[in-house]
Amino acid sequence: RRACDTAMAAYGGEWVLETAHTLYLVRDTPMFDAAVAERTAQILLGVYPKLVYKDYLDWVLAGRTHYSDSLTDYGSSKLYAAVQELAQISGHAGLDQLEADLKPYTVTASGNFPFWNFDAMIHRRGGGG
């Protein structure tokens, strides 16, 4: 299964997801670094709730054809596990809320969000809009 370039390359998706999993694996060892966990949580919370709408990775940013098979369940299939593991080790309240929103597909950030790495802007009215 292919991964979308926007999520996996431009904004460090692979780095964030794998770092979260690695931190979870080493959580009870001397290798665990709370500062890295906090920074990973900040990056994840600062970017991904804006790229994911309900369970979909934003189609406009990712394109429609080449990677379309990985866009429709991005929130629940790729992002959820990382958020769940990171929430358990970091204690970051924002992660708990994102975890709660991912499975019922209610991630609907509202606003205007610039993403300079791929020269795009997400402008959306979330919720009922």
Ramachandran region of residue 97, left (φ > 0), alpha (ψ -120 to 50) or beta? alpha
* Ordered domains of the chain (ranges, CATH): 5-124 (1.50.10.100)
In whole angstroms, how large is the CA radius of gyration of the chain? 14
- Read off the pLDDT band of 107 (50, 70, 90): confident
CA atoms of 62 and 78, how far apart (whole Å): 15
| pLDDT value of position 3 | 47
Examine the pLDDT at 48 and tell me if it is beyond 90: no
- Read off the pLDDT band of 64 (50, 70, 90): low
- The predicted-structure confidence for 17-44, as pLDDT tens digits, reads as follows 889 999 999 999 999 999 999 999 998 8
| pLDDT value of position 69 | 67
